[in-house]
Each structure stands twice: as structure tokens, then as C-alpha cells.
Amino acid sequence: MTKSVILGVIGSDAHVVGITILEQALEEAGFDVVNLGVQSSQDEFVDAATAHDAEAVLVSSLYGHAKQDCQGFHQAVADADLEDVTTYIGGNLAVGQDDFEETRRHFREMGFDRVFDSETDPEDAIEALRADLDVRSSESERDGQTVSA
């Protein structure tokens, strides 16, 4: 069955290239992608997840303000009865050069199921989604898969 995935750039962030590449890769991998585009609000993510009965919400942030933009995000998800929806965040999640493991810990504590850095290949996200949403891939694709987000 096709899995619906919501994708967008949160807050006032206008970096569009990353989600465009992710959208194409996810669609090629067989996901039904709803791309909210840039400068999307928390409410837009939540409303789209409800409207499309989404299995996953993928939040992108590049400009360094993800922590502020995601404050209360998982409360909004819970208020909409979407606790079962898988949530990922990725991109340049902090300002400047930081310890990414510290950043990952922070966003995991906020409630994101997986946290990806800006070096992430779209295939890593696809592999993670297949594992988390129990989507079957071909035997050859499954060979050698490892995700550490």
C-alpha cells in the first residue's frame, strides 16, 4: 500500500533545493509525497498530516532556527491525535559548527523519531522510512542497509 508522507521546510526558512530533491527521491521510491514547500507553519504540517492520513512527517530546516521553529511541534501533533505518525527532522539544524550528536539528542528529546544532518543522502531517509513504516523493498535494495539517525 502507498504510504503518505508530508514534507516541508518549517518556519521562515526559504531553502527549497533540499526538499525538492527529497520529494523526487521519495516519489521514485514509491511514497505518496505531499510537499508543503518552504516557510510552512506547524499548523500546516499537522493539518496536512490529518488530511492525508499521513504515516510520516518530514521537517526540513536549513537556516539555523529549527529549535525555535519546532517548539511545541509535538504537542500540536499530539493535540491532533497524530502520536502514531513518524516524525523526522533534517538539515542544518543549529547555527554554525556544532556537535551534531548534541543536536540530535536535543531534537530526539523534543520528540522527533529520527534526526538527520545536512550530509544526509536521500537514500538514507528512504531506508529509514522503509524500516520505520515497514515498507518492503526489493531484496537487492535491502542488502547492506544501515541507518544510524
- Binding site residues, ligand B12, CB under 6 A: 12-18, 21-22, 58, 60, 62-64, 88-92, 95-96, 116, 118, 120, 122, 125
Q: Which three cell numbers stand for residue 39?
A: 516557510
d(CA 80, CA 119): 32
Q: Annotation-wise, does 95 bind a ligand?
A: yes
Cα–Cα distances (Å) from 82 to 20, 27, 102, 130, in that order, read: 25, 23, 27, 19
Pick between residue 17 and residue 139 the one whose CB is nearest to ligand B12.
Answer: 17
Active-site pick, 15, 52, 65, 106:
15
- Give the residue carrying C-alpha cell 530546516: 61
Q: Annotation-wise, does 16 bind a ligand?
A: yes
Among this protein's residues, is 15 annotated catalytic? yes
Binding residues for adenosylcob(III)alamin: 12-16, 60-62, 92-96
Q: Which residues are catalytic?
A: 13, 15
